[in-house]
Structure 1
Amino acid sequence: MDTLSSQRAGRAGRPTREQAQARQAELLDTALDMFLDRGFELTTMEGIAAAVGMTKRTIYARYAEKSALFLAAVTRAIERTATTTAELHAVESADLEATLIAVARLRIADLSTVDGVRLRRIITTESYRFPEILMLSYDQGARPLADFLADLLRRHDSAGAICVERPDMAASLFMTMVLGGPVRLIASPQAMSPAEIDEWVGAAVRLFLNGVTRR
């Protein structure tokens, strides 16, 4: 057998990059499900290995301890629910009111997905044990939106359309106004309907713009 044939034979059965990535995603998703169902303390690496069909040795080779696997699973969930800068710019228009409404709807939609609800649950139940996931969620989830809004408001202020002394603070206040009700109620029996969310968003945007309109 020549060298090339030997190399091919040695690679036989080795998963492709796509397969390896899919298995990694499956591991993290399965781990997150188990952490949600059982809590961090009662979830074991052995149980995760059995559920995903991997050996403990394989998992420990990637994550030396359970906390590392937990943080990796939460990080993946945050990345999957993050509203990207590209998505935000895609809904921007010259009309500030329309842009704010579109941005709010986009963010609420991202947080209303199955992944978004799971993420909120895990942060609520485990942030006391892992306070870093709160900052991680903000840095990767909320900060890009806050930065986009601050820049948007700054540009409209410079153009004379509105008056905003602290665009960064105004952006945070807007996010609190527009996201607070809908997001807080997402997984509750009192969850808002699409029509109610549209009404809330429209009212919040009009109230916000009334406060920053030049007099």
Structure 2
Amino acid sequence: MGKETVNRKSRRGRPVQIAPERREAMVLDAVAVLLCDHPLDAISMADVAAHVSMSKRTLYAMFPSREAMLLAALARMVEQVFRPLTAEESELPLESRLRRLLTVNKMPGLERNSIELLRAVVAGQKQFPELARRVHRAGWYPMVGLLRQELCRAVARGEIAKGDVPAQQAAELLLDMTFEDVLPHLLDPGADMLGPEQRAQRRDLALGVFLRGISGIDATG
């Protein structure tokens, strides 16, 4: 009886096996939560390990360094700021499709500390160039690609005339028109960022100016 009781306790005490993908997602989620209240350079492997009830050894088995962990977390957060259109949304009129693509999804960690995070990435780009490079590529390049895809779709559907303006350049222009320049905010900590309503107004203004000003697009460019 005693041996059976010990065996039962042993079975109950075994740690639950978590799939590697799920374990990594838990770690990256923890980093995102910590970034809501802590600067980037203040987050340690020990902090994250404590947050997810894992050992630092487990974290290092997933990520070779603290920088690699932060890189993965930031890239994942940036990738979630924008999302592709659903099949249903892809049937909307062009202006509605572009408006949906250019609408920022709410990300608590980025919403509150976006400029502080960007300052930290820029400040550390010499020491950790891959961190800055991947954060940039995770946000800007995919977004331009999504906009270019919709502009080419619009040409194919006859929503925009064929013309000489390369679709790639048009997509980059629309993205630049939609979002405010962050440089003043990087240089001046006291500068106020646009709020959600102001960002939406700027987005709609940019869309109106762009769609009324573009005469034709070269879908091959």
Instruction: Looking at secondary structure, tell me which structure has more helix per residue.
Output: 1
User: TM-score by structure 1 length?
Assistant: 0.68
Residue number in structure 2 paired with 1:3: none
User: TM-score by structure 2 length?
Assistant: 0.67
SS in 1 for 2:15: coil
Deviations 1:19-57 (A, max 9, x none): 982x543433434526972543x5443344344433232
CA contact under 8 A between 1:150 and 1:167: conserved in structure 2? yes
Structure 1: 5+ residue stretches without partners:
1-5
- Counterparts of 1:142 and 1:156, CA distance in 2: 21
CA contact under 8 A between 2:78 and 2:138: conserved in structure 1? yes
Deviations 1:124-166 (A, max 9, x none): 3123243323432343333333122212223433537333521
Structure 2 residue corresponding to 1:145, chosen from 107, 131, 143: 143
Residue number in structure 2 paired with 1:191: 194
Change (3 A) 1:120 1:136: farther
Residue number in structure 2 paired with 1:204: 206
Residue number in structure 1 paired with 2:64: 64
One-letter identity of the residue aligned with 2:207? V
Shift of 1:72: 2.6
- Counterparts of 1:123 and 1:198, CA distance in 2: 22
Change (3 A) 1:114 1:43: closer
Counterpart mapping for 1:1-215 below 5 A: 13-17=14-18, 21=22, 23-32=23-32, 33=34, 37-40=38-41, 42-79=42-79, 81-87=80-86, 90-93=88-91, 95-104=93-102, 106=103, 108=104, 110=105, 112-117=106-111, 118=113, 121-127=116-122, 128=125, 129-158=127-156, 159=158, 161-162=160-161, 163-180=163-180, 189-194=192-197, 196-213=198-215
- Counterparts of 1:27 and 1:98, CA distance in 2: 36
- Counterparts of 1:160 and 1:44, CA distance in 2: 51
- Counterparts of 1:78 and 1:202, CA distance in 2: 22
- Counterparts of 1:34 and 1:197, CA distance in 2: 23
Residue number in structure 1 paired with 2:219: none
Identify the range of structure 1 (159-168 vs 198-207) with the bigger mean alpha-carbon deviation. 159-168
Change (3 A) 1:131 1:161: same
SS in 1 for 2:67: helix
Deviations 1:158-202 (A, max 9, x none): 5373335210011011011012269x98xx7553342x3443222
SS in 2 for 1:161: coil
- Counterparts of 1:160 and 1:65, CA distance in 2: 49
CA contact under 8 A between 1:123 and 1:133: conserved in structure 2? no
One-letter identity of the residue aligned with 1:149? L
CA contact under 8 A between 1:150 and 1:171: conserved in structure 2? yes
Deviations 1:52-100 (A, max 9, x none): 4332322233333222222232233234x2433344x543346322322
CA contact under 8 A between 1:153 and 1:164: conserved in structure 2? no
- Counterparts of 1:91 and 1:205, CA distance in 2: 17
Structure 2: 5+ residue stretches without partners:
1-6, 186-190, 217-221
Identical-pair percentage? 21
